[in-house]
């Protein structure tokens, strides 16, 4: 009988980091998407699109991440008032 070793699991952050990591990832994805669409609509697919898009993304992310950190508790309360808690 042979045993196969499983690859080591990557280390994970402790659960208390969820309130920072969640808006961090969300803001990266959302700002990237919105700034790409907005830049593409404004400029079209020009040679300088990547540079202009990354500049727009960076500025918008610097605003979006702190805003998400501030409004997330309010959004959780609003969603809790609208959506029933899951049955256990």
In a domain, residue 38? The reply is yes
Evaluate whether residue 25 is within a structural domain: yes
User: Is 10 a member of any domain?
Assistant: no
Residue 12 lies in a domain: no
Domain count, the chain: 1
- 61 inside domain: yes
Domain membership of residue 54 (yes or no) is: yes
Classify residue 53: in a domain, yes or no: yes
DSSP letter at 17? G
**What is d(CA 29, CA 13) in angstroms, rounded to the nearest whole number?**
20
pLDDT digits (tens, 9 = 90+) for 11-61: 999 999 999 999 999 999 999 999 999 999 999 999 999 999 999 999 999
Q: Which domain holds residue 32?
A: 18-78
Q: Which of 28 and 86 is assigned the larger pLDDT?
A: 28
Asked, for residue 3, whether it belongs to a domain, the answer is no
Predicted local confidence at residue 6, as pLDDT: 79
Q: What is the distance between the alpha carbons of residues 73 and 82, in angstroms, rounded to a whole number?
A: 14
* pTM summary value: 0.77
């Amino acid at each position: 009988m042979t045993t196969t070793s499983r690859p080591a699991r990557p280390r994970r952050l402790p659960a208390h980091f969820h309130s920072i990591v969640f808006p961090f990832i969300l803001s990266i994805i959302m700002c990237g998407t919105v700034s790409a669409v907005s830049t593409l609509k404004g400029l079209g697919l020009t040679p300088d699109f990547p540079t202009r898009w990354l500049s727009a993304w960076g500025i918008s992310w610097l605003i979006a991440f702190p805003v998400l950190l501030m409004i997330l508790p309010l959004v959780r309360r609003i969603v809790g008032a609208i959506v029933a808690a899951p049955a256990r």
